């Protein structure tokens, strides 16, 4: 069994100290570090304590043979969709073809802070499948636009951003778009 504790902790942007403090009962950052590196045995008890501290299911902390990683393409916040500054992944048990991820950093529209979206990548000939769906559209210089796909006309996509009072945006046909396929929300 391979541990994914470090990957999940870093994906949640927590320090060893943060996780140690959140454990029930609290422990030390040194202990969490030893459990991450395998210096100390990661028992089922520790696995459950750390999973509780990270707010994930214990199964997300172990490497399973059919488990896949979903690269995060963008973060969605109050300023719109932005490319990540460093590589980030979502842990996905089973992907549905070519997909990318989107993390919601600020509540916007129907999405809440902490939500994760799995986006199915569509080629230009399949853009019609995404009409009236929320989509992520890549733009030049590593920028993105996220909104509802209203239509496609004369080689251009018409999107309505999620922000209240936002104006429709028109984007020349990009190489791909990501249609929201799954919403992962912690309870």
- Partners of 169 in beta bridges: 159
pLDDT bucket at 73, cuts 50 / 70 / 90: confident
Query: 70-90: string of b/e by CB count within 10 Å (b at 16+)?
Result: bebbbbbeeebbeeeeeebeb
Contact 143, 83 (CB under 8 A): yes
pLDDT bucket at 16, cuts 50 / 70 / 90: very high
Q: Is the pLDDT of residue 92 over 70?
A: no
The model's pTM:
0.57
- What is the tens place of the pLDDT at every residue in 106-139? 988 889 988 889 899 999 999 989 999 999 999 8
- What is the tens place of the pLDDT at every residue in 138-185? 988 888 999 999 999 888 999 999 888 889 999 987 899 999 988 888
Average pLDDT score over the chain: 86
CA 102, 103, 108, 114 dihedral sign is positive
The answer to whether domain 2-63 and domain 68-184 are alike in fold is: no
Q: Which of 5-9, 30-34, 47-51, 66-70 has the lowest mean pLDDT?
A: 66-70
pLDDT at 95: 53
144: left (phi > 0), else alpha (psi -120 to 50), else beta?
beta
For domain 2-63, which CATH number applies: 1.10.150.110, 1.20.140.10, 2.102.10.10, 1.10.260.40?
1.10.260.40
Domain limits of the chain?
Answer: 2-63, 68-184
Topology, domain 68-184:
Umud Fragment, subunit A (2.10.109)
More confident residue, 3 or 93: 3
The mean per-residue pLDDT over the stretch 13-36 comes to 92
């Amino acid at each position: 069994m391979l541990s994914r504790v470090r990957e999940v902790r870093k994906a949640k942007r927590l320090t060893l100290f943060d996780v140690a403090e959140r454990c029930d009962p609290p422990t030390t950052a040194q202990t969490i570090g030893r459990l991450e590196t395998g210096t100390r045995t990661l028992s089922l008890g520790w696995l459950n304590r750390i999973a509780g501290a990270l707010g994930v299911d214990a199964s997300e902390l172990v490497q399973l043979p059919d488990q896949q990683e979903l690269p995060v393409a963008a973060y969605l916040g109050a300023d719109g969709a932005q490319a990540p500054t460093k590589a980030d992944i979502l842990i996905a048990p089973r992907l549905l073809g070519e997909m990318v991820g989107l993390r919601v950093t600020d509540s916007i529209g129907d999405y809440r802070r902490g939500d994760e979206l799995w986006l199915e990548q569509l080629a230009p000939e399949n853009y019609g499948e995404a009409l009236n769906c929320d989509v992520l559209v890549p733009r030049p210089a590593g920028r993105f636009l996220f909104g509802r796909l209203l239509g496609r006309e004369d080689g251009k996509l018409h999107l309505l951003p999620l922000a209240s009072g936002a104006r429709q945006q028109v984007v020349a046909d990009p190489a791909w778009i990501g249609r929201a396929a799954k919403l992962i929300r912690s309870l």
